[in-house]
Structure 1
Amino acid sequence: MKLYGLKNCDTSRRAFKALKAAGHEVELVDVRKDMISPEELERLYLVFGQDLLNRRSTTWRKLSEEERKEGAVALMIKHPTLMKRPVILEEGGLLTLGWGKDEQKHWGVKDA
């Protein structure tokens, strides 16, 4: 299982620890440091659409109106912190976005 997130992101860290504690073998892919390929970002965008772009982030608020007009995938390539996190990918292709109660329940995590 891969968890796409940020090493410094509290939510990504909570999800990583909870998944490990629930017995999952998890690899943290830091989207800023390890990078995520444009092809993988495109695939994730096809699955999640605009939900993948975090418009509540500090990075988004700092973008100019002109920059915001670029395509979502292009923006996330330039600014990886714009990707909503965590994205969890299980072998076999199953994906979830975020770390809410539904995602926790789906992955068999209690009280994360």
Structure 2
Amino acid sequence: MRIYGLKTCDTCRKAAKALDGAEVIDIRHMPMAPELRARAFETFGAALLNTRSTTWRGLSEAERARPPLELLEAHPALMKRPLIDDDTALHLGWGKDVQAALLG
């Protein structure tokens, strides 16, 4: 199981602690493969972008208008976190639904 996010993100830390043995991948230091980014966007659509983040608020209108996959490649911190790959499905965030799916 892999958790894609930021090592400094509290939500990613909570997920990593609960999912003992999961590999945490900091997307600022090790960018996601384009195939995984495309699969995640296909699965979650616009929900993959965190439009409430400080990174988003710092973007110009022209940058915000760029295609989402280009934005995520240029600004990895724009991704809603964590993105969890359990080898069968992708999960986004650490809400009750994701916790129930992964922890039983």
Q: Taking structure 2 as the reference length, what is the TM-score of the superposition?
A: 0.95
AA aligned opposite 1:55: T
C-alpha RMSD of matched pairs (Å)? 1.1
AA aligned opposite 2:54: T
AA aligned opposite 2:43: V
Q: Match for residue 94 of structure 1?
A: 89
Between 1:69-78 and 1:32-41, the stretch displaced more is 32-41
Q: Match for residue 17 of structure 1?
A: 17
Provide the aligned length of Structure 1 versus Structure 2: 104
Gaps of 5+ in 1: none
AA aligned opposite 1:97: L
Q: Match for residue 45 of structure 2?
A: 49
AA aligned opposite 2:12: S
Structure whose alpha-carbon radius of gyration is higher: 1
Name the CA distance, whole Å, in 1 between partners of 2:96 and 2:86.
18
Q: Match for residue 71 of structure 1?
A: 67
Gaps of 5+ in 2: none
- Aligned sequence identity (%): 50
Q: Taking structure 1 as the reference length, what is the TM-score of the superposition?
A: 0.88
Q: Match for residue 8 of structure 2?
A: 8
Name the CA distance, whole Å, in 2 between partners of 1:34 and 1:13.
17
Q: Which contiguous aligned blocks of 4+ residues in structure 1 show a shift greater than 3 angstroms?
A: none
Name the CA distance, whole Å, in 2 between partners of 1:108 and 1:68.
36
